[in-house]
Chain A
Amino acid sequence: MEKSGPVQKAVVLQPFVKLVRLVARAFYDDYTTKSDHQQKSARSDNRGIAAVVLDALARRQWVREEDLAKDLQLHAKQLRKIIRLFEEEKLIMRDHRKETAKGAKMYSAAVAATTDGRAEDKVKLHTHSYCCLDYAQICDVVRFRLHRMKKRLKDELEDKNTVQEYGCPNCQRKYNALDALRLISMEDDSFHCENCNGELVVECNKLTSEEVVDGDDNARRRRREKLKNMLQKLEVQMKPLTDQLNRVKDLPIPEFGSFLAWEARAAMAARANGDLNPNDPLRSQSGYGSTPMPFLGETKVEVNLGDGNEDVKSKGGDSSLKVLPPWMIKEGMNLTEEQRGEMRQEAKVDGGSRGAAKLSEDKKSASGNGDEKDLKDEYLKAYYLELLKQQELAARRNQQESAGESASDIQLGTTSSGRQVSMKAKREEEDEDEDEEDVEWEEKAPVAANGNYKVDLNVEAEASGGEEEEEEDDIDWEEG
């Protein structure tokens, strides 16, 4: 439920979650919040904590950091440190908001909408921070990171003449040799920072610079050997990650939007589901003090929902189970059967003539608007009830007729509701047939009876078109 919130359409999260988990294990496995000079004991060793946090984030959308800390049983400070690391590494989006009690409640409402469980209403007048994985950026960041790693090793392996880089020790600005003309100063013969005029130092980024390169062939060969080894190891160890990146490349990227938009959308989805949430942000609009235009996010949602799936929403808001058109289905997406459009043919039990009639009715209603379907079902139910009644009535009348056969036609005309005349008349004929020639009827009956029924019902259905209004009115009245 958490993974595919009701607000998402046709976006598969799973490959991206896997990517995040791989990234966590590849790059942040040995991250520790302790600084290096602190004594590390086995007890305080919290390596792998970053991976845990990333995994937890992959299971959520936007989450309040305190809640996350509570869920992970981490100290808030500790968590914030890790979160800040991820923010710097561009893996997550963050949003800070000064919240009143109601604002916090609104978030709880949004959480209640995306997750089944209710978040407890903790009310505090503080700045709350929210964070969420930024999948689009993660893909780019990881790809870039891998590219840089490979490039650096390759450049050094091939002893390629790389453009020398310079850095300013004061303001951390980076330059390279192509900027040399601008950096050279007239006073002395060294490079100076454009920003702070500090003297630039050569950035030495040789991985194997600790070895003295004295032109000795042996040392050079050993160095090359070592580099080649490193590159090979890199290729092998990063294989799962690159594979996953390739898999994810062509898939639509899950987008949660900014925090406010997400919150509004989640609340919207909750309302569409019919949960009358007392903490609904749109109900507590006055509490939305921190944002001047609370409707911004909401209008966006209207656009999203407006593309023809209102009827689906009205049936329970399960838009995540929409049938995907075949051109949207790609390799690597895992969809339910329903989403692929299979099992769409509802198996209708054909219960004789009545079933056939129902099927034809269904077809008609399927071609019409989905909204009418419910009404038509209702109508059909009512109609069959009435039909049954009429049949019973007719049967009783037939019994009476066997006593006095002459007055049947007149009776029919007066008692039946007019639209059923033809049917009744035919029934009368049948009954008469039955009375007069028993043997012949037995042979003819299956065909004749079926045909009659079908025709009658179809006529009925068409003729009833005018009466639908009435029926609808009735139903409305009942519901109201």
Chain B
Amino acid sequence: MKEKILTQDQRKRALLDRLPREGVEGDVITAFEYDTGADGGKADGAVIVTDKNVAVYLDGKLIKLFSVCGTDKFEFRRFVGVSEITAFDKDGEHLVCRASDTYREVLSKNVKRLQRLKETGTYKDDAELRIGAVCPKCGRRLNSNMTVCVKCADKRSMFKRILKMASPYKWYLMLSVLLFFAGFAVSLLGPYVNKLLVDGYIDSAEAKAAVSSGDRSVFTGFALTVGLMVLLTFLSYLFGSLRNLSIMKAGTGFIVDLRKLVFEQIQKMSVRTLSRRTSGELMRRVTGDTAQIENFVTGQLPNIVQQAVLLVAVGVILFIYDPFLAFLILIPVPVCIYAIWLCNEFFRRIYSRQWEAESRSGSVLYDIFSGIRVVKAHRTEKKELERFDRAITEERDIAIKNEALFNIVDPVFTFVLNIGSLLLMYYTGSRILGRTMTLGDAAMLSSYVTLIYGPIDWLAYLPRLLTRSVTSLVKIFDVLDEKQDIKDAENAAEPVIEGNIEIKDLTFGYDDGGDVLKGVDLSVKKGEMVGIVGRSGAGKSTLINLIMRMYDPDGGSITVDGYDLSQISQSCLRSQIGVVLQETFLFKGTVYDNIAYAKPGCDKETVIAASKAAGAHQFIVKLPDGYDTVIGENGHTLSGGERQRISIARALLHDPKILILDEATASLDTETEKNIQDTLQKLTRDRTTIAIAHRLSTLRNATFLAVLDQGRIAECGSHDELMRKKGIYYGLVMAQRQMSRIGKKSDTAAS
């Protein structure tokens, strides 16, 4: 019997009914199971959380009881395939429970809830926290990135959806089907005219007699019949080429729409989602898979309709003409359809395998090209060639295997389907010999039989055609159905930002680890410049990513001018934030295009002004083609500093209210940096600026500095205040001074 799937609420109630609660005080918040013991082995445990206690059970017995007030803090830790909650009190650290990753989310959310309960005395319930969210349809547990369970989502037929997408082109597709049938009707007449020709003239004793008696009308009739055949052939070609034309119209339009849709969806994905997929894979989905689906919609779909109608129509004609004969021919068809249905899953899997191999070799290539300078610097061309060779050899081997399999399967299907024709030959032959059938009848019958073998043979190839399309359909819908994890709220505000940023109790962690930011509080007033300093990995870049809303925080809030970030439209927010990152990216295009990237068509004077502000103008005018120099891929090669200055100009042109500089001037020499800093200082006067820098001198103009340490703001204040404090900042400054002293000493020694 199939196991009944329980919702989180039902599970909770079942646990509360089952477990003894003597000694456990307070209102129940939640109850959850855990499956790993203190020794790491399998265990049958549960935890009941109330607003006063955390009660831990093993095999139905209470084994530990923690007091929420008496515990200093609860901590969540993730290991490999297992997570734990521990509690800290005056006696040290104690294990609350351990569980496999199936319960990871439950554990981590409960720890956050407990911490909040300790600090504020309030808590959110399971439904609010989406703990143990289940599919509303079948009750299966949902992952945090799903809204509908995939088994239920399946039922929305993919084919229906793809047809809906093709609906703007339905007239072209219908026209192509109509033209096919017009052509088909013409071809149906063919055998009949052929029969007329054979029985009425070529093999007719009457016609021969009339010719010998000098009757010329027989020749006229013969010529007319031949003319009719020519006309039928011409019409058949005409309809055929018109049909191809309408299919092409539908196909080209459809593929453009589909590619746009997939690309749009990929662009909407958050950084978190995108980082899970490789660029090569995404490119394949936008180009290869969409082409495969276009082929399906414009090629196979009309074909399925046509061939099915053809099969039925010719089948009916044959049945009317001779039921026994029709039975002989059609008997293998259901057998083959059943066999195709049986093998379908297998065929799909082997094609998926080929898809993966093709995608992998694409990714390898993309990877190598992106890192070509590293490859050359380390002289690993041969190694990379071998890597690519391995990938394409694997792809080739799988393709050969698949083709070999289809080359075994196809003839088997064709043979089985054609058994009917052998039976037919025997049957018609014996009837002609028995003189119950004329030669003309036999010729006509043979033509109709050829017609019906069209769709029958096509049936044999159907698995191969369909599998490829279905594989691509799955991959496309995988992208289209990806839930957008960062969405604009309904009626999202589009305010003109002044630049007051308020960060409260901000907590955030990436998918695969603990919290990177833990309860960060920071307040930046309009026009202030805050310098964020700290060691590598302290969470500086994560913090600015959150301000730009590349990710949504796990806890706490970020507000801009009183609006929570989730309430502001993303495009409105980002249009008013200027960003300069350490790693610059220049698109293929002119220098002007790159600077005016976010403001296409911007007037030249503004672009020049922005370049001057960024210290880029000087080198741009020295280029032979000035602002029209093509840079980016295959373009003019710029130095690291030059690229950086262009990207600073790009950010300034924006005229942003909030300026984010993430190690923006790190790759510049001290003098250029100073020049840019001076300009930036003028520009940042009425702009809120958040700057990250390792070179602490960069931040000398900052209103105040915030020192991030292990995800927390450890120190905050002006340079002088922090120096007096002799804390982390003091340590960083001293270390840097020492470094520069060593540098100077070695310079002197060298000279």
Does B associate with A? no
B contacts, CB < 8 Å to A: none
